[in-house]
Structure 1
Amino acid sequence: MLKKILRILFTIIGLVLGFIIGNALLKTDYIGKVEYFRTSAVLSIVFIVFCVLLFGFIMFLISPIINACIMKIMDYVENNFQRVPANDILFGTVGAIIGLIIAVLITSTFSNFGALGTILSILIAVIMAALGVNISIRKKEEITNFFSNFKKTNTGKDKKAKNTHKGSPKVLDTSVIIDGRILDICQTGFVEGTLVIPNFVLEELRHIADSSDSLKRNRGRRGLDILNKIQKELKIDVQIYEKDFPDIAEVDSKLLKLAQVLEGKVITNDYNLNKVAQFQGVDVLNINELANAVKPMVLPGEEMIIPIVKDGKESGQGIGYLDDGTMIVVEGGRKYMGETKYVIVTSVLQTAAGRMIFAKPKE
């Protein structure tokens, strides 16, 4: 139906075009001065009718080709627009309008330059519109967060006081999801704010869960189970972040970028990610650091009773563990292996991996 309507439309355009061209030809020096056309109005009308029919017939013949080109262009535009999210189209349109407004302000002084001014105005308008689209799409997250934060700051004192206790968003790393301790920490109520689970982290977990390595596969599945428990059992707000950063390849870099965009913090137990985040100025909540911080303090000279379960690296050393997993190296404790002994703390060593206690058997 659309093709028929377009063919009729192009035929009408051809008829109108023939009428205009016929009139224009009669006014030219070559045809207008011919004696037959000057003396006979009927011949002039016949000439115009001939031009109308000729151009109408030409447009009727070539309209299928024009229709095919239009259909291809429409299909191309439609397919490309279907891949673009609606918010990208909205932000791009607003950016293009702002760019055109700036271009009008810039080119308002070019009207005195004639054709050159017109060409420069068109070029500047195109460049500013493209620049506005590019900037608005790239910065859409920052713009959205800016206006959302601005709105929050103007909703009244009561709501403002309430939001100050809500806390910043917490972006979960893959390693901390697989670790599983984040579920227990959130259940205690020490974590405030929205838990943000990026879609690219979910994809990484899915790839790990589909791994041919049984150990990786079990870790990935445990991570997915932890996410399901977080979403179903916790009262805390959980948000799945759908957007991605296609220009960034590494998942860790995407996490840091997302934390910057959301003005939030990254929860992880990855030592290297922690260092990179500190370098980029992103706040990080490290589960391992939290675990070390909540372990009971032990001072040299204190006594404790521990089971000695294995021998140490050095000669005569025995190894024991507290209930929280802290390792205790007992000098001369190898001969008490398998026994529970009273020991006296001699020193405490804090490392990146955790706290290590050195002791000796109580005499």
Structure 2
Amino acid sequence: MLDKILRFIIIVLSVIAGLMMTDRIIPLLAPWVSEEFFSVGIFGITVATIFSFVGGGLIGGFIGFIISPFLLNSLWQFTYWVEARLNRMPVNDVLAGALGLSIGLIISNLLGSAFLPIPFVGRYIPIVLSIILGYLGLNIAIRKREELFSFCSTIPWLNKDKGKEANKPANMYQYKILDTSVIIDGRIADICQTGFIEGTLLIPRFVLAELQHIADSSDLLKRNRGRRGLDILNRIQKELGMYVQIDNHDFDDIAEVDAKLVKLGQQIKGKLVTNDYNLNKVAELQGVPVLNINDLANAVKPVVLPGEEMIVHVVKDGKEFGQGVAYLDDGTMIVVDGGKRHIGETIGVMVTSVLQTAAGRMIFAKPKAI
């Protein structure tokens, strides 16, 4: 139905264009046409006028009828292309772009009116200015969107409810940005299941692309890790009921995924969830809050104090002479002084000291005296 209406409008416009063109062409034929053609008519209407209405209208309408399917096809393709681009753009980019485009067109209209009195080119200069300034306004506003919205937040009448919002929890709107390592690790799903993570989990599209690249790798180990990460995301979204949002921000001028994550955290004021030690340090240096899964795991390990006794199974020898190594159920390494001779045995030990490192907790012990 809409296609028929648009096609009818195109034909009507073509008829009008044909009438206007014929009205312009007929005077040019005067030297080769008799004067009766321009003077004799019916009911005061000259032959030229009749010819203009009938001939020009029919020709214009026929041309419009022929080209309307092609124009409609091109129109719909352009509409779908614009819609696809807008769907991939965040709302902030769309709003900033619309504002920048409006400002650019307003400025071009004000400047263009000054050129109208110029002969010949005066009427075309406003069109050129509209295209140039509209394009510049659109691009500059999108690139400077964060500064633009920050400026708007300083205007008092736009922030009347700021005091009310301040009473709400600060983490209510804060995104938790997941990186590739923490998705593949899988422990984030167990943490979500316990309810310790709340709010929106944000998955940047470039992280998904890296995850898909790993899942398509020719290396079996990498491929299994990538598929595990995709399964973890599916479990978090469907089984655990967490709200997972795909973010379309991308930074073409930044090549590394870790740098993109830090930049995204700075822009949206979100927290970065990772277990990558280096990314953790870089993010903290640039002011991005980090939730490190390894730090959480170390924090919830059982507290062991010097002097406590425990039963361990010595599995291998240590780095130093005579040392043996055992492990707790949570993976904590226990270095047993003089435990080399007890490899393969389950013995009682007494804790002598506990060392907390960035990699985890290490316990030093010695065999319990019998």
Letter in 1 for 2:335: V
- Correspondences of 1:170-319 after superposition (within 5 Å): 170-209=176-215, 213-232=219-238, 234=240, 238-245=243-250, 247=252, 250-295=256-301, 302-307=307-312, 308-319=314-325
**C-alpha distance in 1 between matches for 2:171 and 2:62:** 72
Specify whether residues 233 and 72 from structure 1 end up closer, same or farther in structure 2 by C-alpha distance, changes over 3 A only: closer
TM-score by length of 2: 0.72
- Correspondences of 1:66-105 after superposition (within 5 Å): 67=68, 70-71=71-72, 73-85=74-86, 92-105=97-110
TM-score by length of 1: 0.73
Is contact 1:100-1:129 (8 Å) kept? yes
For each residue in 1:42-70, what CA deviation from the matched residue of structure 2 results, as whole angstroms up to 9, or x when unmatched?
39945666677775676577657755763
Residue 130 of structure 2 aligns to a residue in which SS?
A: helix
Residue 341 of structure 1 aligns to a residue in which SS?
A: strand
Residue 171 of structure 1 aligns to a residue in which SS?
A: strand
**What percentage of residue pairs aligned between the two structures are identical?**
50
Residue 325 of structure 2 aligns to a residue in which SS?
A: strand
**C-alpha distance in 1 between matches for 2:200 and 2:265:** 12
Q: Which residue does the alignment assign to 1:134?
A: 139
**C-alpha distance in 1 between matches for 2:297 and 2:9:** 73
Which stretch of the first structure deviates more once superposed, 58-67 or 222-231? 58-67
Deviation at 1:274, TM superposition (A): 2.0
Deviation at 1:329, TM superposition (A): 1.8
Deviation at 1:229, TM superposition (A): 4.1
RMSD: 4.5
2:21 to 5, 17, 20: 17
**C-alpha distance in 1 between matches for 2:73 and 2:173:** 51
Letter in 1 for 2:71: I
Deviation at 1:297, TM superposition (A): 5.5
Residue 295 of structure 2 aligns to a residue in which SS?
A: helix
Specify whether residues 351 and 139 from structure 1 end up closer, same or farther in structure 2 by C-alpha distance, changes over 3 A only: same
For each residue in 1:5-34, what CA deviation from the matched residue of structure 2 results, as whole angstroms up to 9, or x when unmatched?
7557535533443234435776xxx79xx9
Is contact 2:200-2:245 (8 Å) kept? no
**C-alpha distance in 1 between matches for 2:255 and 2:171:** 35
**C-alpha distance in 1 between matches for 2:277 and 2:266:** 19
Is contact 1:19-1:49 (8 Å) kept? no
Is contact 2:336-2:367 (8 Å) kept? yes
For each residue in 1:122-158, what CA deviation from the matched residue of structure 2 results, as whole angstroms up to 9, or x when unmatched?
4433222112222444566887899899999755866
1:339 to 343, 346, 357: 346
The aligned length equals 354
For structure 1, the residue ranges without an aligned partner over 5 or more in a row are: none
For structure 2, the residue ranges without an aligned partner over 5 or more in a row are: none
Letter in 2 for 1:339: T
Deviation at 1:106, TM superposition (A): 5.2
1:42 to 40, 43, 46: 40
